[in-house]
Structure 1
């Protein structure tokens, strides 16, 4: 019951206040820890990469347990309030919403969307920009909002801290580049595992709020994505808006063949982005 209350309050703190910009974000400290290990023990091997995973999960999980134990000595209202404030720092609903909405209003839309996606943006049409915005919104709705709340609900502060640490590891070393092909393998695999359930919950929530009768209609196209998770919320959003997402995409000057998600119209407008942003309760 306490975790439910903390999760609800944390969500609304993020909704109304967003990031506490006067403070260095805790995720940056997680990044420092990852860099600390990498600088000392990097070797492009699965074993060394697994060592990073163990180091980060145990360290951050330990920090979460210590904080939770410390707060347990406070009166209940303070325990819940402080826990919710800390947890809200790891929920990115407001930041995600505002970042994507800004693309609609911006004069240089390509420059803004380039801050959110890894694809090449120089030659994107306006429709392509809006497509990229909706895709990143759908995917990050899972990674940045639903998944953190899911693990906070199940495991309290240690849960949300460990989830964000895993997510941060994946974003730093989980790429299939020459440097991280083996070193980042354990981090990438663990990120896939912890996002498996939240990604599907996110997709079902999108379908539910879009009042779609078949809540699992996203699955057929969603499983075509190279990621075991990202395709499901993206497909759900495409079905909710009656548009087509995905398709061949350029990365670092090379076009990558990608599946399509959804079977609606291909021309995507600013109104579609607004509908995506307003689909789930703010």
Structure 2
């Protein structure tokens, strides 16, 4: 049944994208995190643990009864809100026309980015968020159903809001960050293999694993390295965060000058991925 729900969810997302007439579940999770932080923030790992505990408990309490519905169409439409494939694609493509829209997609400082840095950031965030926004949600939906999908989205939202290594969140966000690392370990590597496969570059798997391991995140580097090697680019390098330059490693062995055509080439992955995912899920339903 999970394959049928996943197929309906994926197709719903590809056709309709985000439902603007409802408050998105991730936004509701963000509201919970913000409210908890305002009331109970303390510079401690324990307080951060309680944030994680209560958000996951709330998500479980709300989603589990819904998951008991036996209509796969209802469950599939609900599950589509946990997949962000269309929004990601359109957001990255929009950067070509409105370069400053990159500020909505990345956590790095964007005020003084060059056009080259903006295009590089667009490709990096597309690769990384294919894992977080598409492959990982599908992975947990197929493995554990609706509950697995939304518990993953809760963990991912926690990491995106408090999982930073800075003075405020180093302790408070540590549990969120480590849990997100665990949750994305397998999906990030699946994403890397898919990127290489769909671009016909699976022979660069060993290089992908080498470059992916250079990232300070145990997961983010793998899809980025796979995209860089597939497009013959060098991504990464010095990047501004919170007013300081972070000397990130380079991923890949190609050109450091990123052109609009390179962004378009990266985005051609979408129709290939759509075809593969739909065929695999349809085969699962028929089986």
Structure 1 position 279, deviation (Å): 1.6
Q: 1:103 aligns with which of 95, 102, 113?
A: 95
Please tell me whether the aligned partners of residues 204 and 216 of structure 1 are also in contact (alpha carbons under 8 angstroms): no
Q: Does 1:267 align with 2:266?
A: no
Structure 1 position 253, deviation (Å): 3.0
In the alignment, the residues of structure 1 paired with residue 184 and residue 157 of structure 2 have an alpha-carbon distance, to the nearest angstrom, of 13
More moved, 149-158 vs 44-53: 44-53
Structure 2, unaligned stretches of length 5 or more?
275-287
More moved, 139-148 vs 46-55: 46-55
Structure 1 position 216, deviation (Å): 4.2
5 Å-filtered alignment, 1:41-60, equals 41-60=40-59
Please tell me whether the aligned partners of residues 108 and 240 of structure 2 are also in contact (alpha carbons under 8 angstroms): yes
Aligned match of 1:233:
223
Q: Does 1:246 align with 2:245?
A: no
- Aligned-residue CA RMSD in angstroms? 1.3
Residues 11-42 of structure 1, C-alpha deviations (whole Å, 9 max, x = no match): 11000100010111111111222233333332
Q: 1:278 aligns with which of 243, 268, 272?
A: 268
In the alignment, the residues of structure 2 paired with residue 178 and residue 234 of structure 1 have an alpha-carbon distance, to the nearest angstrom, of 27
More moved, 59-68 vs 127-136: 59-68
Structure 1, unaligned stretches of length 5 or more?
73-78
Q: 1:143 aligns with which of 108, 117, 132?
A: 132
5 Å-filtered alignment, 1:113-192, equals 113-192=102-181
Structure 1 residue ranges (4+ consecutive) displaced by more than 3 angstroms after TM superposition: none
TM-score, normalisation: structure 2: 0.91
Aligned residues: 271
In the alignment, the residues of structure 2 paired with residue 270 and residue 257 of structure 1 have an alpha-carbon distance, to the nearest angstrom, of 24
Aligned match of 1:75:
none
Q: Does 1:26 align with 2:34?
A: no
Aligned match of 1:196:
185
The verdict on how the C-alpha distance between 1:31 and 1:124 changes in structure 2, with shifts beyond 3 A counting, is closer
Structure 1 position 61, deviation (Å): 1.8
SS for the counterpart of 2:207 is coil
Please tell me whether the aligned partners of residues 222 and 232 of structure 1 are also in contact (alpha carbons under 8 angstroms): yes
Please tell me whether the aligned partners of residues 247 and 259 of structure 1 are also in contact (alpha carbons under 8 angstroms): yes
SS for the counterpart of 1:217 is helix
Please tell me whether the aligned partners of residues 63 and 158 of structure 1 are also in contact (alpha carbons under 8 angstroms): no
5 Å-filtered alignment, 1:205-220, equals 205-214=194-203, 215-220=205-210
Aligned match of 2:280:
none
In the alignment, the residues of structure 2 paired with residue 82 and residue 17 of structure 1 have an alpha-carbon distance, to the nearest angstrom, of 15
In the alignment, the residues of structure 2 paired with residue 245 and residue 151 of structure 1 have an alpha-carbon distance, to the nearest angstrom, of 29
TM-score, normalisation: structure 1: 0.92
